[in-house]
Amino acid sequence: CPQLQELQLGNTQVTDAAITAVAKSCPQLRILSIDGSHVTDMSITDVARLCPQLEHLNVNDTNVTDESIAAVAQGCPQLQHLHLSRLKATDVSITAVAQTCSQLQSLRLYDMKRVTEASVIAVAQGCPLLQYLYLFNMRVTDAAIKAVAQGCPRLQSLWLCHHSYNAVVEVTDTSITTLAQRCRQLRQLHLSKANVTDTSIRTVAQGCPRLQSFYVDSTGVTDASITAMAQGCPQLQELQLGNTQVTDAAITAVAKSCPQLRILSIDGSHVTDMSITDVARLCPQLEHLNVNDTNVTDESIAAVAQGCPQLQHLHLSRLKATDVSITAVAQTCSQLQSLRLYDMKRVTEASVIAVAQGCPLLQYLYLFNMRVTDAAIKAVAQGCPRLQSLWLCHHSYNAVVEVTDTSITTLAQRCRQLRQLHLSKANVTDTSIRTVAQGCPRLQSFYVDSTGVTDASITAMAQGCPQLQEL
């Protein structure tokens, strides 16, 4: 196939030999995605030399270094999309890309520990067509964001994300104000944990009317700027406001002005049933709702069940809700894919059984500090064949999970797509775990601490589940 132009080989056993063969035989190659494969600089250098029309390169989680990325920068001046994650590359190669690939439109840097904001500044100065910039777990300050604002007026997406719980994004109102004033086409702005306040967010609300996705959880925003955001950005579809001072006033304003809202995450905020009922009434396209650690009760959860039949993801922690509202969700939200119940003391396994019977598309079920027996797990096994993750967790030292081999055997037989199975402190033995080993070959995460398993079932697990990553 010498006319091959697009090739995706992510998470395969492919090595340099195959990629070099492609480079030699397919000079028109434009898209190459080989994330998670076994390639090195050797083959990527060949691609850089022999495929000058390359536009898209994804080498996440490979053995690629500065050598071949710099070679791509030199040999592929039409490069538009570059994805780099967990590589040993440094500022040297990213700066080379910035200097020679002026058509670059998207750059994703994820856990690139040897790359600094000097690379971001270089890209901002050398790539005026940049539209998408994703920076994960990277120290970035106002200097870099100001450079992006000044150099990349077409920017549509900026993600500044840190997965560390204690991380602080060193970006302030100063640079975000400049960004909002100069990058008026912004559609996605993710600033979780940034040092921003209402000052800059008001400017975003005024300057970026096309904004659709806005994450400012764990920041200094209040009702004032979120109300302005609702009024200025009516196309808003995704909103994360967890751990902020936001109250019902702002959420009601969002509900009234942003009818296309699909994702709302307001965990740890001061909202009550009042605003969530408004969301349920005015935002029928809602798919994702996180109201962990709020003052929400059965009233508004039941309203969401009634008004948002497309709901797919529901996160509930430490609420006063009961089986009444969870059962309502189960009866009307048949597209539900994930349910997280954490420290829900008034919810019983009757809710789990109702969800199992009413939500056949369920893929993720997380039950923390909740009494669950074989009856509930059997119902899940029988009703949710697409299940990928099941977590049964108790944080109490003396807790016992009342789930036995009986239901886990049924689960393994019927839910063969399982990737995560957490059964710590459950009353399970080798009997059911052997069935898991035989029936769930895609399993990646398996927790059975404080159970009755022995070498026999774990050896079977090792042989039957070669993709296992967490044990």
Nearest to 233 by CA among 259, 205, 261: 205
3-state secondary structure of 165: coil
Alpha-carbon span 339 to 413, nearest angstrom: 22
3-state secondary structure of 175: helix
Structure tokens at 360: 């056949």
Domains detected in the chain: 1-132 (3.80.10.10), 384-471 (3.80.10.10)
Q: Report the residue count for the chain.
A: 471
- Per-residue pLDDT 10s for the chain (471 aa) are 999 999 999 989 999 999 999 999 999 999 999 999 999 999 999 999 999 999 999 999 999 999 999 999 999 999 999 999 999 999 999 999 999 999 999 999 999 999 999 999 999 999 999 999 999 999 999 999 999 999 999 999 999 988 765 556 789 999 999 999 999 999 999 999 999 999 999 999 999 999 999 999 999 999 999 999 999 999 999 999 999 999 999 999 999 999 999 999 999 999 999 999 999 999 999 999 999 999 999 999 999 999 999 999 999 999 999 999 999 999 999 999 999 999 999 999 999 999 999 999 999 999 999 999 999 999 999 999 999 999 998 876 555 678 999 999 999 999 999 999 999 889 999 999 999 999 999 999 999 998 999 999 999 999 999 999 999
In one letter, which amino acid is 266?
A: I
| 454 C-beta neighbours (distance < 10 Å), count | 11
Tell me if 62 sits within 8 A of 39, measured CB to CB: yes
Structure tokens at 68: 């071949």
Query: In sequence order, what are the residues at sequence separation of 6 or more whose Cβ sits closer than 8 angstroms to the Cβ of residue 152?
Result: 124, 127, 128, 129, 130, 131, 133, 183
In one letter, which amino acid is 379?
A: A
Query: In sequence order, what are the residues at sequence separation of 6 or more whose Cβ sits closer than 8 angstroms to the Cβ of residue 305?
Result: 311, 325, 328, 329, 331, 332, 333
Token pair 């400049």 is found at 178
Query: In sequence order, what are the residues at sequence separation of 6 or more whose Cβ sits closer than 8 angstroms to the Cβ of residue 54?
Result: 29, 30, 31, 32, 47, 48, 72, 75, 76, 78, 79
Q: Is 114 exposed, middle or buried (0-12, 13-18, 19+ CB in 10 A)?
A: middle
Q: Quick one: pLDDT at residue 163?
A: 73
